[in-house]
Amino acid sequence: MPVAPIAEVEVDPIIRAALERYLEIVSEASRYIPPEMQQTYGSDVPWRAVADLGNILRHAYHMTDLPALWRIYQQDLDPLEAVVKAMLADLDPDAPTLPAPPKS
Protein backbone atom coordinates (compact mmCIF):
# COMPACT_ATOMS: atom_id res chain seq x y z
CA MET A 1 0.00 0.00 0.00
CA PRO A 2 1.51 3.38 -0.95
CA VAL A 3 2.26 5.93 1.72
CA ALA A 4 0.22 9.13 1.70
CA PRO A 5 2.13 12.22 0.58
CA ILE A 6 2.74 14.92 3.18
CA ALA A 7 -0.03 17.05 1.68
CA GLU A 8 -2.49 14.29 2.50
CA VAL A 9 -1.07 13.91 6.01
CA GLU A 10 -1.54 17.65 6.58
CA VAL A 11 -5.28 17.50 5.89
CA ASP A 12 -6.19 14.06 7.23
CA PRO A 13 -6.08 13.87 11.03
CA ILE A 14 -6.29 10.07 10.99
CA ILE A 15 -3.23 9.68 8.78
CA ARG A 16 -1.33 12.23 10.86
CA ALA A 17 -2.27 10.41 14.06
CA ALA A 18 -1.08 7.14 12.51
CA LEU A 19 2.27 8.70 11.56
CA GLU A 20 2.72 10.16 15.03
CA ARG A 21 1.79 6.86 16.69
CA TYR A 22 4.17 4.93 14.46
CA LEU A 23 7.04 7.24 15.39
CA GLU A 24 6.05 7.07 19.06
CA ILE A 25 6.23 3.25 18.97
CA VAL A 26 9.66 3.34 17.32
CA SER A 27 10.80 5.83 19.94
CA GLU A 28 9.55 3.74 22.83
CA ALA A 29 11.07 0.54 21.43
CA SER A 30 14.46 2.26 21.16
CA ARG A 31 14.50 2.68 24.93
CA TYR A 32 14.75 -1.11 25.37
CA ILE A 33 17.89 -1.54 23.28
CA PRO A 34 20.83 -2.01 25.64
CA PRO A 35 23.37 0.84 25.47
CA GLU A 36 26.18 -1.52 24.50
CA MET A 37 24.18 -2.69 21.49
CA GLN A 38 23.35 0.89 20.56
CA GLN A 39 27.05 1.72 20.58
CA THR A 40 28.18 -1.44 18.79
CA TYR A 41 25.64 -1.36 15.97
CA GLY A 42 24.44 2.20 15.76
CA SER A 43 27.08 4.56 17.08
CA ASP A 44 25.93 7.12 14.50
CA VAL A 45 22.25 6.86 15.50
CA PRO A 46 21.15 9.71 17.78
CA TRP A 47 19.58 7.33 20.29
CA ARG A 48 18.74 10.06 22.82
CA ALA A 49 16.88 12.02 20.13
CA VAL A 50 15.01 8.89 19.04
CA ALA A 51 13.89 8.30 22.62
CA ASP A 52 13.08 11.96 23.21
CA LEU A 53 10.80 12.08 20.16
CA GLY A 54 8.32 9.91 22.04
CA ASN A 55 8.25 12.39 24.92
CA ILE A 56 7.46 15.19 22.51
CA LEU A 57 4.70 13.20 20.83
CA ARG A 58 3.21 12.19 24.18
CA HIS A 59 3.56 15.40 26.13
CA ALA A 60 4.07 18.28 23.69
CA TYR A 61 1.81 16.96 20.93
CA HIS A 62 0.29 20.40 20.48
CA MET A 63 3.71 21.66 19.36
CA THR A 64 4.68 18.88 16.93
CA ASP A 65 6.09 20.03 13.62
CA LEU A 66 4.70 17.94 10.75
CA PRO A 67 7.53 18.75 8.31
CA ALA A 68 10.06 17.62 10.95
CA LEU A 69 8.13 14.39 11.57
CA TRP A 70 7.90 13.80 7.82
CA ARG A 71 11.68 14.29 7.45
CA ILE A 72 12.22 11.72 10.18
CA TYR A 73 9.91 9.31 8.39
CA GLN A 74 11.50 9.87 5.00
CA GLN A 75 15.19 10.11 5.97
CA ASP A 76 15.89 8.53 9.35
CA LEU A 77 13.87 5.34 9.55
CA ASP A 78 15.70 3.36 6.85
CA PRO A 79 19.12 3.73 8.54
CA LEU A 80 17.55 2.94 11.92
CA GLU A 81 15.86 -0.12 10.46
CA ALA A 82 19.18 -1.35 9.04
CA VAL A 83 20.79 -1.06 12.48
CA VAL A 84 17.96 -2.94 14.19
CA LYS A 85 17.99 -5.67 11.52
CA ALA A 86 21.74 -6.13 12.06
CA MET A 87 21.16 -6.42 15.81
CA LEU A 88 18.41 -8.98 15.34
CA ALA A 89 20.41 -11.00 12.82
CA ASP A 90 23.32 -11.30 15.24
CA LEU A 91 21.03 -12.22 18.12
CA ASP A 92 19.26 -14.94 16.10
CA PRO A 93 20.59 -15.47 12.59
CA ASP A 94 17.87 -18.06 11.88
CA ALA A 95 14.97 -15.75 12.72
CA PRO A 96 12.77 -14.81 9.78
CA THR A 97 13.01 -11.23 8.60
CA LEU A 98 9.98 -8.99 8.42
CA PRO A 99 9.17 -7.03 5.29
CA ALA A 100 9.82 -3.31 5.49
CA PRO A 101 6.82 -0.99 5.66
CA PRO A 102 6.00 0.74 2.38
CA LYS A 103 7.76 4.01 1.58
CA SER A 104 6.68 6.66 -0.86
pLDDT tens across 44-88, in order?
999 999 999 999 999 998 888 999 999 999 999 999 999 999 998
What is the reported pLDDT for 91? 86
Inter-helix orientation angle 35-42/77-91, to 10°: 110
Q: How many CB atoms lie within 10 A of CB 26?
A: 20
Q: Give the model confidence (pLDDT) of 14-28 as tens digits.
A: 999 999 999 999 999
| Dist. CA 20–CA 61, nearest whole Å | 9
pLDDT: is 79 or 93 the higher one?
79
Q: For the chain, how many residues are written?
A: 104
pTM over 0.85: no
Segment 36-40 mean pLDDT: 95
Q: Sign (positive/negative) of CA torsion 27, 33, 38, 40?
A: negative
